[in-house]
Structure 1
Amino acid sequence: MRETPTWRIPLGIFALFVLLIIYGAVIARYAPSIIGSWSGGAQTVVYVILGLVWLLPLKRFLIWMETGRWSPPE
């Protein structure tokens, strides 16, 4: 357990919030024009994938927020 506060946690939360807003705005801006004419089922699959893809880098980001390193401690 950490004894002293660190700047990485508030910075990380703020960065995550900003990046998710940017990611959502990009998806909302460009995805409908690309997949708007597809069937509803295909659009659902694409939006589910796009809704989950942001989770891929989240583990390393949370590790950095806690430890200051990008990889898990050995």
Structure 2
Amino acid sequence: MSQGELGPSWRKPAGALLIVGMIVLLAVAVGTFATEIGRLPILVQLPVYVVAGIVWVLPLKPLLRWMETGRWRD
């Protein structure tokens, strides 16, 4: 391969596995506390599940940037 050619990057499959792993960890965490969360009033449960559904997205931007460029920050 010449210096100008780019080969396939290992970062994309590794990043995809990290994303799946993050989702699995969050699902296990929420499942672990599901009984306790279920005992809360419905108006308290709603924000708990909304926050849990959004929290996993926050680390995605730097992870996706790393997958594309190899850098964590701009």
Identity of aligned residues (%): 39
- The aligned residue for residue 38 of structure 2 is 36
Q: Please list every run of 5 or more consecutive structure 2 residues that lacks an aligned counterpart in the other structure.
A: none
| 2:63 matches 1:61 | yes
Residues matched between the structures, number: 70
Superposition map of 1:3-22 within 5 A = 3-22=6-25
Q: Please list every run of 5 or more consecutive structure 1 residues that lacks an aligned counterpart in the other structure.
A: none
Secondary structure (helix, strand or coil) at the match of 1:4 reads coil
- Once residues 70 and 31 of structure 1 are traced to their aligned partners in structure 2, the CA distance between those partners, rounded to angstroms, is 33
> Larger Rg: 1 or 2?
2
| Aligned residue type for 1:49 | V
Over aligned residue pairs, what C-alpha RMSD do you find? Answer: 1.7
Superposition map of 1:44-55 within 5 A = 44-55=46-57
For residue 19 of structure 1, report the CA deviation from its aligned partner: 2.1
- Once residues 32 and 9 of structure 2 are traced to their aligned partners in structure 1, the CA distance between those partners, rounded to angstroms, is 36
Query: Is 52-61 or 17-26 further displaced after alignment?
Result: 17-26
For residue 31 of structure 1, report the CA deviation from its aligned partner: 4.1
| 2:26 matches 1:23 | yes
The TM-score, its normalising length taken from structure 2, stands at 0.82
